[in-house]
Chain A
Amino acid sequence: NAGVMQNPRHLVRRRGQEARLRCSPMKGHSHVYWYRQLPEEGLKFMVYLQKENIIDESGMPKERFSAEFPKEGPSILRIQQVVRGDSAAYFCASSPKFPDRGSSGELFFGEGSRLTVL
C-alpha cells in the first residue's frame, strides 16, 4: 500500500502569493488531518476533514487559510497571500476511521511539505 502522499515536498513562495499543498491519504482512509510544524518543535493541529466535510477546524488561522477534501481527489490546504510567518513544514496524516476504544487511533503521516516564504 502506498503511504500518505504529499506534494510538493518543497515550495518557495514570495510574500503575497498563494500556496497550495496536496495530500492523498492512504488507500482506504477517509479521515485527513493537517498539522503545522516549526523547526524542532511539536506539531500543531490545524484541521480535521472527512470526505466533503470539515469536522474540526479549530486550529486554522481565521484568515487566509482554507482546507478541503473533495469527493474525488486529494485534500488541499490553501494559504492565500502568504507571509514569512507561514514558513513551516505542513504535515498531512490519515486514519481509516474515527478512533474509539476499540482502535489505536494511529495516524499515518506523510513526509510533509516544506513551505518557504521569501
Chain B
Amino acid sequence: TQLLEQSPQFLSIQEGENLTVYCNSSSVFSSLQWYRQEPGEGPVLLVTVVTGGEVKKLKRLTFQFGDARKDSSLHITAAQPGDTGLYLCAGARYGGATNKLIFGTGTLLAVQP
C-alpha cells in the first residue's frame, strides 16, 4: 500500500518555467521531508517541515506542509537545468518502536535548456 502519492509522476519543462509538485496522503505525519536524487546517487535531503501550514523557502524552492499534516507541495520558480532530478517526499511518524520513512512515488523532473 502506497501511503504517499506524488503528482505529476513525470514533468518536462523549459528553463525559466515554474512548476509545482504535490505529495498527498490520507495519513497524518509527524513531519515530512523532501529529497532530491540524481542519477546514480542516493537521495539528498532538501528540507524538513514539521508544523501544519509551515512554509519553508530554499532559494528558488518553496515547500509547504498542509494544515492537517497530510500533504505537502514543492514549488520551483524559474527552473534551471540543474534542478533536473527525481524529487521524493517522505513522511515520518514518531513514537512507537520504529522510525521508518515512508517515501512517495516520486516525481521525475527534466528541465530543458
| 21 A-B interface contacts by CB (under 8 A) | A4-B42, A33-B100, A33-B101, A41-B105, A42-B4, A42-B88, A42-B103, A42-B104, A43-B43, A48-B100, A55-B99, A59-B100, A98-B99, A99-B92, A104-B48, A105-B94, A105-B101, A106-B48, A107-B45, A112-B40, A112-B42
Interface size on B, residues (CB 8 A): 29
Interface size on A, residues (CB 8 A): 31
Give chain B's interface residues, CB within 8 Å of chain A: 4, 6, 30-31, 33, 40-45, 48, 50, 86, 88, 90, 92, 94, 97-106, 108
Q: Is A91 an interface residue (CB 8 A)?
A: yes
A-B contact count (CB 8 A): 77
Question: B94 — nearest CB in chain A belongs to which residue?
Answer: A100
If A31-B99, A56-B98 touch, does A105 touch B41 (CB 8 Å cutoff)? no
Q: Is A35 an interface residue (CB 8 A)?
A: yes
CB distance from B92 to the nearest CB of A (A): 5
Q: Is A69 an interface residue (CB 8 A)?
A: no
Given the complex of chains A and B, what is the CA–CA distance between A111 and B101 in angstroms?
A: 18
